[in-house]
Chain A
């Protein structure tokens, strides 16, 4: 297993390097940071001087390696207003992680049990109702749901705050629900079909035949096997969730990475956008790596395949 983990880490490093170059290159095409920084009243000479002093006239590859060496020393440069990119990111990432984890939590505690219930009651009324809710959940735009929930729960009923993260636990309920709804619906559908596959499997007939109680059959024998694809989905959804929070963060003025990224794009804050995209990607790659490794531990088949291959 140690070798597996090492191999995964080693394949990620060159990919991160290439990706960072691509992001850097693409971002360098988006516009001229010098003229943005100099403002609209600066003369052509002023801008040229600024370009020279910022090193923007150097070839792309030189600029990239200068940036990369900065990055490896923990220096992602500064934004338009002189604020440090890494500092801004580190201030905001906990909020985004909070939001992603809270919606993940909703997904796991609501979607998986509902998926199991729907599978057990397959083609009965409960299943029809739950499946209909799931397809609505996939189809509903998260930001619209957010606005509607703000109107109902924050404005009409005044139960929850309208926006921001200042109200502790109460302020995360609505954003987490909106960010998680489509995910939760997807996981529910997945759980349902994965459970149905397993409920019809031969080993369950054996379990029933030897007199195992129905409850144990479902929870122990079927669920344990159904969980493997569910874990993969939940893991890979994390990256989608991190992207999806961009919109929800903007609706709820949640002070996370996503809403700041949008603000930076709008103000052409070149360094900030490059840094944020890179840092988010590294973060997600790390999360996916951990999920992959956990997955190998959960699924004995992968573990076995790998140990025989290595040994």
Chain B
């Protein structure tokens, strides 16, 4: 990273892309992932939400996968393929927003703690440690229980519960950067502290954060769907993957395909994200590559 930190922004990305491309698994995953994003974007144009995605269609109940319904239909006669495609919207939005919350707040708290030190650091790190004592899933459960079960609370719960992990990593990363000579140099020429933090420290401490954010995205999507599965997240009839699995559970003995496809969608999405994450990690820090 040191060499790239000094060059222009575009070449920094160029360098990153050059490294990333070499990892075939990550490249293929990126293509598949973009495909999933595309499906999420166009599905409202293909299917009508009210009638085809959540509406009841009693003449079409529980049809096994066939040409017309590639993933079959569920107990309400809804096309599972349409619902799985539509579900990508929920999982991606929940995952991305939750990770955004935890990255922004975590990086803020961690870098303030790592950069300013002293009492501020002590207070922030005690709070972080305390939050870490609660398993993040339990923390999320408390938040959902507190504010009620719905989509936005689920996002907040997932985001807040991973803030401490980000804060801890950000602090460590910022502290490493703070020890570098160029930070000392900026301080020596009399740049204000806040400017040093925003302009020099955080940009150079970002790569572990980017890697962590990518990895967390996968984790968040799984956790979000497990919350919906437990009835603590998105509720039926919304076509969220976890909620679909929870719905399909009572029919899984006779119609196993109902639980197979939504779960497979979660699995493939998260697998792609994790492979991309590995690729990003290797590209951002070639030293870590093995």
Contacts and interface: CB of A to CB of B under 8 A. Distances in A.
Interface of A: 15, 18-19, 22-23, 26-27, 29-30, 122, 135-136, 138-145, 147-148, 150-151, 155, 193, 196, 239-240, 242-244, 246-247, 250, 261-262, 265-266, 273, 277, 280-281, 284-285, 288
Interface in B191-236: 218, 222, 225-226, 229-232
A139 B270 contact: yes
A138 B230 contact: no
Contacts of B260: 148
B252 A246 contact: no
B173 interface: no
A11 to B, nearest CB: 9
Contacts of B290: 122, 193, 196
Given A138-B218, A148-B259, 15 more contacts: A15-B130, A19-B133, A139-B273, A139-B274, A140-B267, A142-B226, A243-B136, A244-B135, A246-B137, A250-B230, A262-B230, A262-B232, A280-B135, A285-B133, A288-B133
Contact of A147 (B129, B130, B137, B252): B252
Interface residues of B, number: 40
A22 B249 CA distance: 36
Interface string B118-141: 000000001001100111111001
Interface string B226-267: 100111100000000000010001001100100110110011
A30, A144, A196, A288: most-surrounded residue (chain B CB, <10 A): A144
B135 A284 contact: yes
B41 interface: no
Which 5 pairs of residues, A with B, have the shortest CB-CB distance?
A243-B135, A144-B263, A243-B137, A139-B271, A139-B270
B278 interface: yes
B275 interface: yes
A23 B262 CA distance: 35
22 contacts: A23-B142, A27-B145, A30-B145, A122-B290, A135-B278, A139-B222, A140-B267, A141-B222, A141-B225, A141-B266, A142-B226, A147-B249, A147-B259, A148-B263, A196-B290, A246-B137, A246-B230, A265-B144, A265-B145, A273-B145, A284-B133, A284-B135
A19 B260 CA distance: 40
B232 A135 contact: no
A280 B266 contact: no
Contact of A144 (B267, B275, B278): B267
Interface of B: 126, 129-130, 133-138, 141-142, 144-146, 218, 222, 225-226, 229-232, 245, 249, 252-253, 256, 259-260, 262-263, 266-267, 270-271, 273-275, 278, 290
Contacts of B229: 143, 247, 250
Contact of A151 (B126, B232, B256, B275): B256
A135 B260 CA distance: 20
